[in-house]
Structure 1
Amino acid sequence: MQTTLSFLSDLAQNNNRDWFQANKSAYQASHEEMIAFADQLLKEMNKHDVIETPTGKKSLNRIYRDVRFKKDKTPYKTHWGGGLYRAGDERRGSYYYHIGLEGSFVMGGFFGPNSQDLLHIRNQLAQYADPLRDVLESPDFKKTFGTLLGAQLKTAPRGFEKDHPEIDLLRYKQFMIRHDFTREQMLSSHFPKTVSETFRKMRPFLDCMTEMLTTDLNGISLY
C-alpha cells in the first residue's frame, strides 16, 4: 500500500484538477495497487462467504467526489473505498473497506435498510432481542468491533413505546460495526487476508441480522 499512501499524501496537498492531470501516472499506479488488493481480498472472501461482486475492480468506488451540493469543492477523495455485496436473499448485509491517510478500517452490516426491512427488524427486536444481544455482548465481538454503530432516533420509533425494554436497539436506523487497522497491518503483504479474516468475524452479527430479516415473527422462512 506504500504506492497508494504516497499518492494520497500528495493528492491531499494538491487537490485540484491541474495537479491530478499532471500526475495521472501516480493515480494509475495507486489504482492498479488497489485493484490488486481488492482482487486478492475478493478471492479470500469467497473462501468463507458468497460474494456477488464480480471483481475487485468492480468493488472499488471512484476517487472523484460529487461536489454538486457540498460546500467543499475539492474534486477528489483522499482515500480509497469499496464495497463487497453478499449474494442471495439468504445472505443479508454488506462489507466496506476504507484505505486512507487518516487510517484504514472496515465496516459491515446494514448501511441503509429500506423502511420495510427496518420495520421488520424492529418488530423482531421488540419480540425477542436476545440473539442480537448475545452477539453484541460476546467477548470476541467486543474485542474486534467494540459496539454497534449507526444513526439513531432521539426518541422511540413510531408504533413503539418509549419505555420498551429494547428501546436502545429499536432506535437504530442503521446497524453497522467497524474495525480499525494499524499502518503496520496496512503495509503488510498479508493485509488482504487480515481484512478478510476481520470480515469473517462479522458473520455472527450478519447471520443474526439475516435470520431476523428472512423469517417472520414465528420463525418461518419468508423465502
Structure 2
Amino acid sequence: MDFKELFAFLRDLERNNSKEWMDANRKRYYKVRDGYISWLDDLNSTLEAIDKEYYSTPGKKGINRINNNLMFHPNKPVYKDHFGAGLDKAPNTADFYIQIGIHESMLAGGFWRPDSKTLQSIRDGIDYDGEDFKKILHKKSFQDTFGGLVEDQKLKTAPKGFSKDHPHLDLLKNKTFAVMHPIKEKEILQDNFKEKIVAVYKEMLPFRRYLNKTVTV
C-alpha cells in the first residue's frame, strides 16, 4: 500500500471537498481505495493467523464509506478526511477499528455509544465480575498503549437497577466502552507499521474479548 499516495489524495480531497471534484478524480479514488482494501486483506490474514477466535473480515466487508451521512450531519463535508475500516467484525461484537487520515489516525476498539440492550449487557457483566475488567484496564502495558477508556458521555448518577454505592460505579456510568491508540503519519509510513498494528491488536484483545463475552453470554 502506498500510504504517501493515500495521504496526498486525502489532502487534495479536503481542499476540493465536492461531488464534482470526486467525479473528476474517480479513477484516482478507486486506485487508492483498492490499494487500501488489498492492504486490509493482507492484515486480515495476519490477524486471523494469530488469533484462533478471529472473525475473518475481508477488506471490502470491513472498509467504511468515505461519504459522510449528511442526513444526520448536514453540516459536515460531503466526504470524510480519512479511510476507516473494522476488522474482526462478527455481528454484535466489538470490532478492531483502523482509521488513517490527515488529521487523526488511530487503532481503536470496543463499543461506541451502543444501543440500550447492548449497554445493559455490558453493565450486567461489570456487575458480575467487574474486578476482572479493572485488571485489564489497569494493566501497565494496557495503560501505556491506550491510557484507559475513551472519555465520552457519562451518567451523573448510578444507572437504573444499580446502587449508588456500587464498587464499580465509575465504570457503570459510562455510555461508551472503547479504547484508542493514536498513530502518527510518520509511523504509518514506516516499514514496521503492520508489526505495530499487530502489537496493539494483541494488547487490546483481552479488553475486546471481555466486552464480547458480556454481550453474547
Q: Which TM-score band (shorter chain)? A: 0.7 to 0.9
1:59 and 2:50 aligned: no
Identify the residue that residue 196 of structure 2 maps to in structure 1: 194
* Structure 2 Cα separation of the partners of residues 4 and 201 of structure 1: 27
Return the offset for 1:213. Answer: 4.1
* Structure 2 Cα separation of the partners of residues 127 and 172 of structure 1: 16
* Structure 2 Cα separation of the partners of residues 135 and 51 of structure 1: 20
Secondary structure of the 1:68 match is coil
1:22 and 2:24 aligned: yes
Question: How many matched pairs?
Answer: 213
Identify the residue that residue 79 of structure 1 maps to in structure 2: 82
Amino acid of the structure 1 residue aligned with 2:71: R
Shift in CA distance, 170/196, structure 1 to aligned 2, threshold 3 Å: same
Return the offset for 1:53. Answer: 4.3
Residue by residue over 1:103-130, the C-alpha shift from the partner in whole angstroms, topping out at 9 and shown as x without a partner, is 3101111235443342233233234321
Shift in CA distance, 179/87, structure 1 to aligned 2, threshold 3 Å: same
Moved more, 200-209 or 112-121: 112-121
Which residue of 2, 5, 11 corresponds with 1:3?
5
Identify the residue that residue 159 of structure 2 maps to in structure 1: 157
Shift in CA distance, 196/57, structure 1 to aligned 2, threshold 3 Å: farther
Shift in CA distance, 51/87, structure 1 to aligned 2, threshold 3 Å: farther
Identify the residue that residue 138 of structure 2 maps to in structure 1: 137
Residue by residue over 1:160-214, the C-alpha shift from the partner in whole angstroms, topping out at 9 and shown as x without a partner, is 1223221101111221111011222111233233213211211121233344445
What is the CA RMSD across the aligned residues, in angstroms?
A: 2.2
Identify the residue that residue 125 of structure 2 maps to in structure 1: 124
Secondary structure of the 1:129 match is helix
Identify the residue that residue 218 of structure 1 maps to in structure 2: none
TM-score normalised by the chain length of structure 1: 0.85
Percent identity over paired residues: 33
Unaligned runs of 5+ in 1: 215-221
Contact residue 108 and residue 202 of structure 1 kept, 8 A:
yes
User: Which structure: greater helix fraction?
Assistant: 2
Identify the residue that residue 72 of structure 2 maps to in structure 1: 69
Return the offset for 1:46. Answer: 0.4
Identify the residue that residue 43 of structure 1 maps to in structure 2: 45
Amino acid of the structure 1 residue aligned with 2:155: L
Contact residue 53 and residue 59 of structure 1 kept, 8 A:
no
Identify the residue that residue 115 of structure 1 maps to in structure 2: 116
Identify the residue that residue 209 of structure 1 maps to in structure 2: 211
Secondary structure of the 2:200 match is helix
Shift in CA distance, 153/57, structure 1 to aligned 2, threshold 3 Å: same
Return the offset for 1:21. Answer: 1.4
Amino acid of the structure 2 residue aligned with 1:164: H
Moved more, 79-88 or 194-203: 79-88
Secondary structure of the 2:125 match is helix
Secondary structure of the 1:81 match is strand
Unaligned runs of 5+ in 2: none
* Structure 2 Cα separation of the partners of residues 70 and 87 of structure 1: 27
TM-score normalised by the chain length of structure 2: 0.87
Identify the residue that residue 217 of structure 1 maps to in structure 2: none
Moved more, 8-17 or 74-83: 74-83
* Structure 1 Cα separation of the partners of residues 62 and 42 of structure 2: 12
